Amino acid sequence: MKILVLLSQVPDTTARIAFTNGNTQFDANGVTFIVNPYDEWYALVRALELKEAAGAGSVTTITVGGADTDATIRKGLAIGADEAVRVDAQPTEALQVAEQVVAYAKDKGFDLIIAGKETIDHNGGQVGGMVAELLDLPYIALASKLDVAAGKATIERDVPGGVEVLEASLPLVLSAAKGMAEQRIPNMRGIMAARTKPLTVIPAATTDNVASTTSFELPPAKGAVKMIPADEAGKLIELLHSEAKVI
């Protein structure tokens, strides 16, 4: 089985969020970057588990980004991916990223393409579905469980009020949500091996430009918190009713 995992780079979850250039750019000053948790913990690890269970196949990661993403990409190799591809382009927007991924993947015959549920910086949840459409493949978003047998995938996903069990034939595109796998910490052997695994940089394809983020803003600061003594806790309910008017 040939699996492609879409790996993106995002600011660390504890990073201070600030903007520069008149609020048009993320301020990367002093920020540590990591592999997007959904891509690393769920998409990549499940891909590796499927390959290990089959005892054959390959796991390739693809990242659309500049040379500044190489260290993040190596983390994917240290966890166990066989090879990595980087499309040398700054990601600007979901369709652009999807078109870059498709330009690479279209003639490679991947059985499974797994994206993360969403990036934790852009929060779009778009790229996987766009890749699927451009490759004319089925797409299951927010998969929390994935099994493959005899060319068929069985997928679970949370829906309002329960869990849906779905079936689709390969090739298939998925986005991975919590539950699909358990996070793996790379060991020393993996980290050493990652140094010599192939990381191929390919030039960017021409893409469409349909949308752009023009500026950012931070949410307004909260006012002072109103404290209620613990022995009068019931007052909270009264205030939520009469003052905040939310219940």
Ligand X SMILES: Nc1ncnc2c1ncn2[C@@H]1O[C@H](COP(=O)(O)O)[C@@H](O)[C@H]1O
Which residues, 84 to 123, sit near ligand X by CB under 6 A? 91, 94, 97, 115-116, 118-119, 122-123
Binding residues for ligand X, how many (CB under 6 A)? 24
Partners of 5 in the β-ladder: 61, 114
Q: Between 21 and 212, name the residue whose CB sits nearer to other proteins.
A: 212
Residues 142-181 that bind ligand FAD (CB under 6 A): none
CA distances from 136 to 4, 63, 159, 172, 173 (A): 16, 21, 24, 10, 10
Q: Single out the residue of 245, 4, 40 nearest to residue 112, CA to CA.
A: 4
13 is a contact residue toward ligand FAD (CB under 6 A):
yes
130 is a contact residue toward other proteins (CB under 8 A):
yes
Write the interaction track for ligand X spanning residues 27-46; mark x where CB under 6 A is met and - where it is not.
---------x-xx-------
Q: Which of 85, 125, 181, 199 binds other proteins (CB under 8 A)?
A: 125
* Overall size of the chain counted in residues: 247
Is the CB of residue 213 less than 8 Å from the CB of residue 121? no
212 is a contact residue toward ligand FAD (CB under 6 A):
no
Phi-psi region of 109 (alpha: psi -120 to 50; beta: other; left: phi over 0): left
Residues 187-206 that bind other proteins (CB under 8 A): none
Q: Which of 37, 66, 124, 138 binds ligand FAD (CB under 6 A)?
A: 37
What are the b/e assignments for 10-46, b being 16+ CB within 10 Å?
bbeeebeeeeeeeeeebbeeeeebbbbbbbbbbbbbb
Q: Between 76 and 171, name the residue whose CB sits nearer to ligand FAD.
A: 76
Q: What is the contact surface with ligand FAD in residues (CB under 6 A)?
A: 13, 37
